[in-house]
Structure 1
């Protein structure tokens, strides 16, 4: 049994006994999955989170007091948020949407404003990546408006509002969102539901790419990569954004060099769909033939992740 299975199994065992006492175990498991999000292959983490969420779902069928039921609903909501994000990184937008809708419903049930805001932001990300930029903008505004506290508002300004505005080539709105993100940013917070300076810089870099400002994109992407350990998914995202910035400026040799560096450093199972999308954007230029061969040989990602009942 690996570490992920052990965490999920501890939740199942705890929930067989006193459910109220076991809520601490469930909350600790969800926090552990959030903090270790980038340390595991997405498919392996997906299975562990889903098993944990199913255990919480099964426990909710038992007679429970209101406080215990609310805690389990909230843990299940954060579990669904994780599954939505994982499904997105596994390239299954239908599953991502289903899990995020479940998370938003549970956030409404429990009144967790942080989860409400986060699910709007994640839904904006999914909408943007499928090309629904106006939908992404509406969701991004909702994410920002419902965010509790300055730091989460900073995250939603960069991750949701600026990215959606840049995709629509709305320079004024993008720069307003950038200013909000930088002004509201506080201390780094860890985990999938946290937000650090490396993430802020990456969102700014990718927005500048959409706004056809490759020099600013390069500056911010290089700064982001410098804040992340090599071989982490955030490092891959930043280095591939460096590659895309070089490509946008016509520096094709440099673009291909950085892309190959990422492929050399990562096992295919750890390469998220978002990284593959960045690679595909480079391949579509038709100017990176050696890279095209390697991208074509990448294994297919997991599919069929839609079930929200577990």
Structure 2
């Protein structure tokens, strides 16, 4: 097969999954999600032609699996050299699996000139089975809302895409010890969950449409944060029985409570965690809070803190 390009480089941004908006399925659609792309955490890799298969760098084992699945499904050679410059940490709630799959798929698509779009790649790699946030942020970045899964859904449709104000910052709280539920554990957890109240799902959708989204348009971080904290509390309480509480990590829970007391908003856990997140207005405010938090929670050595900005553009594919 002729190569369209000799070298393809891809950047796939991490994402925060801020919660599901309809776990009831009362209208025949399940899940529906809200989330945002991040700048500072990303999977970056380069694909070049080779006479043999070679994969090196962080998360190489995951990349090997993605490459095998994609090459078999697309009918292309895996005689490639893949160099992974950076990889989103696995199973901490930042969308590492979806972004690795889309990054390698996008690289193969450009390298071989296959003419696929992002959703074609997502279907081949079986991404978006519940949330479409990872697909949406790779496509466009920013804040995205997907429409969940209906009877005939291939991948959750993108309903809303908005740019996050440049000054808004996220504070991420990592638990160095553990990982969130994933794989078979995640599937079993969803099966074990009780029925989500329809009235609660209706309230969350109402708050999202008539409060959170207008707040982004009007640069109102406090009002936006109120809705995300409310949504996170509702979903966290629903998942508590299978993840050990509203937060997977008690240490992260303590840090998130403290950050809220200092004035942070949009407080919650991304996906199954254990990573927590919150928001403040301004990079200086984020840096000051992180410095205080590192001093306060240093004794346990369990937690790590970092600041992140929203990425208002999608994945990047560069060819040579």
TM-score of Structure 1 vs Structure 2, range by shorter chain: 0.3 to 0.5
- When you count helix as a share of all residues, which structure comes out higher? 1
**TM-score (ref. length: structure 1):** 0.34
Higher relative contact order (CA 8 A, sep 6+): 2
**TM-score (ref. length: structure 2):** 0.33
- When you count strand as a share of all residues, which structure comes out higher? 2
